[in-house]
Amino acid sequence: MASTMKLTRRITLRQLEVFCEAARQLNFSDVAESLSLTQPAITMQIRQLEDAVGLTLFEKNGRRKTLTEAGVRMLEHASRILGEVHDTEQSLLALKGLSDGSITVGLVSTANHFAPRLLAAFSQRHPGVEVRFVVGNREALVSLLKDNRTDLAIMGRPPGELETLSEPLAQNPHVLVAPPTHALRKRRNIDLHRLRNETFLQREAGSGTRGVMEEFFRGYLFKPQRILSLGSNETVKQSVMAGLGLSVLSLHTLALELRAGEIVCLDVVGLPLQRTWHVVHLRRRPLSPAAAAFRRFLIEQTQAHLNQTYDGLI
């Protein structure tokens, strides 16, 4: 007990905040910029934390830093501690009603094409509530949920590896896109195997969109001649428009390009492939009134918003 009391007296929440940010970025100069501190201040906070726990948390690996085993364990506990502090703050703010509070919402990058408009509508109703978005692929969102770094997540398939509660929001159709000059752009009921000699462009590993395309191909025992991996929806779309290949993407990333005629959807048998948007949160983490209100708003408004925005595009 004595050693525990000594540890709790010497560690501060600020040190944990700095450490968690440093553990995620692994670059102290970047951490200093994001936290509006000097690099020596970041180094001092980390050293004080290492002195308190009696273990080295970072080690140099070439030009980059990496976490030691102690650092990995510290990150797990520090993330939970900061998450509990955030939940406590939100619980106390709940006594004031929905006039105040903050929410962090994780978005898969595809959802970033429509979620900001829903946020704007919610903010008009509740101007005192601050909503922050964190954007990443599916793998990144699972990590955010696990580490208590997001209240809610908008994603496709809920993570089976975590104890979560999820609610469907809307249909998420996936289509096969091509440049507007493609030879089959006017054909109907195209057999997927007619495209076996094409180059297909896929998202990076860990992306839900990539998972949908891989699942579709497996269902038809389809293996294209060539597959290239790219790092974002925007890069994939630009590459399709440039004629570098075809891709399977969510319709919800394509409104501007389809309306401008810069991309076309090929009428392939089995498409559009219907998937579902979900709003997800950890079962063990109670939602603050502000987060619960935003969750209800998403459930009530997302499908209608998407219908209004995307109907008639395919």
Are 280 and 148 in a shared domain?
yes
Are 205 and 252 in a shared domain?
yes
Q: Does residue 301 contact residue 121 with C-beta atoms inside 8 Å?
A: yes
DSSP at 204: P
Tokens for 103, please give them.
Answer: 């929410």
Q: Does residue 170 contact residue 303 with C-beta atoms inside 8 Å?
A: yes
Are 146 and 292 in a shared domain?
yes
Tokens for 265, please give them.
Answer: 């959807």
Are 99 and 224 in a shared domain?
no
State the CATH number of the domain containing residue 7: 1.10.10.10
pLDDT digits (tens, 9 = 90+) for 216-258: 999 999 999 999 999 899 999 999 999 999 999 999 999 999 9
Are 253 and 136 in a shared domain?
no
Are 268 and 301 in a shared domain?
no
Are 104 and 144 in a shared domain?
yes
Question: Which residues face 136 on adjacent strands?
Answer: 108
Are 110 and 61 in a shared domain?
no
Task: Compute the Cα dihedral for 257, 258, 260, 262 and give only its sign.
Answer: positive
Tell me what the pLDDT averaged over the chain comes to: 89
Q: Pick from 48, 78, 108: which residue ends a domain? A: 78
Q: Which of 65, 61, 56, 60 is nearest to 25 (CA)?
A: 65
* CA 303/CA 279 separation, integer angstroms: 12
Strand pairing class (226-230; 247-250): unpaired
pLDDT digits (tens, 9 = 90+) for 153-211: 999 999 989 999 999 999 999 999 999 999 999 999 999 999 999 999 999 998 999 99
- How many helices (DSSP H) and strands (DSSP E) are in the chain? 11, 11
Number of folded domains that form the chain: 3
Are 117 and 166 in a shared domain?
yes
Are 281 and 163 in a shared domain?
yes
- Whole domain around residue 57: which residue ranges? 2-78
Q: Pick from 31, 63, 78: which residue ends a domain? A: 78
Are 111 and 227 in a shared domain?
no
Are 54 and 95 in a shared domain?
no
Higher pLDDT residue, 95 or 25?
A: 25
Q: 80-89, 147-156, 284-293: lowest mean pLDDT where?
A: 80-89
* CA 219/CA 38 separation, integer angstroms: 53
State the CATH number of the domain containing residue 151: 3.40.190.10
